[in-house]
Structures are given as C-alpha cells and as structure tokens.
Amino acid sequence: MLQVASRSTEEDAVAVISDAVSTRRTTAARLTSALAEMTRLPQRAFPAAVVDDVGEGAHSLLEQCYLSPVERAHGLPSGVRRAESLVVGRRVVRDVDYPDYELYVELDGRLGHEAAADRWKDLERDPGRRCE
C-alpha cells in the first residue's frame, strides 16, 4: 500500500492511506513502522506526512485539506479529531472538536462518502475546491 501511495498522485496517496486506516485494515502506527523499514521508498516524505496526519485523526481527503491549509496555516489551535459525543442519546463522531471554544467542525458526513472515490466525486463537481 505504501509503495502504491508513493507512486500515486498526492490525492490518490491520501485516499489509499486514509481508506486503509479508516476501514481498520491497518493503523497509522503500523504504517509508520513499515515506512521506517522502507528506506528506499521513492518520494517517501509525502506518504510519511499523510500517515502522520491520519494518525492524528484526519481520515479523509477533506479532513487532510482542512488540517494543513486551514488549521496549521492559520495558526489555529489543534482540534480533537474523531471526537466522540452523545447527541440525543446517540453516539456521534465529530471530524474536529474545539472543546475550549464549544465549537466543532463537521467536514464530510458518512452518507455518500464511505470510500475515497465517493469523496472525490464531490471534489470533481467543484474543481475550484481542491486543497492546496
């Protein structure tokens, strides 16, 4: 998987890595260990950065696009990713929670976004919204 990600476009690399972790086929910690052993992996810096972000809880392309170009770039406080809450007695998982500010950010809902390919359909409909 890491070999595929290192030879893919950045968007495809994010999709491959985040899908593998979000579907529980592997963990970010296992991918980090594997990367440490793959010293000759071409362009390994980008997959390593994606694995780090996924390890922080950015499990989709949109969540990755929010983390670096928004939260980090603007010096926002680090949010709690994949934060669990109870809403009307039901468990929900928030994309990013800022508990000190009583604020949460919901970037991408589950319906129609189960796989990375589904999420890309959204971005293709609005090409000006790619993360940069």
> How much of the chain exceeds pLDDT 90, in percent?
34
Predicted pLDDT of residue 41:
87
Predicted pLDDT of residue 122:
57
Predicted pLDDT of residue 119:
56
Average pLDDT over the chain reads: 83
Helix H, strand E, coil C: the string for the chain is: CHHHHHCCCHHHHHHHHHHHHHCCCCCHHHHHHHHHHCCCCCCCHHHHHHHHHHHHCCCCHHHHHHHHHHHHCCCCCCCEEEEEEEECCEEEEEEEEEHHHCEEECCCCCCCCCCHHHHHHHHHHCHHHCCC
Residue 6: pLDDT band (50, 70, 90) is confident
Choose between 46 and 112: higher pLDDT.
Answer: 46
pLDDT greater than 90 at residue 115: no
pLDDT digits (tens, 9 = 90+) for 7-20: 888 888 888 898 89
Residue 118: pLDDT band (50, 70, 90) is low
pLDDT digits (tens, 9 = 90+) for 42-81: 888 888 999 999 999 898 888 888 998 899 999 999 999 9
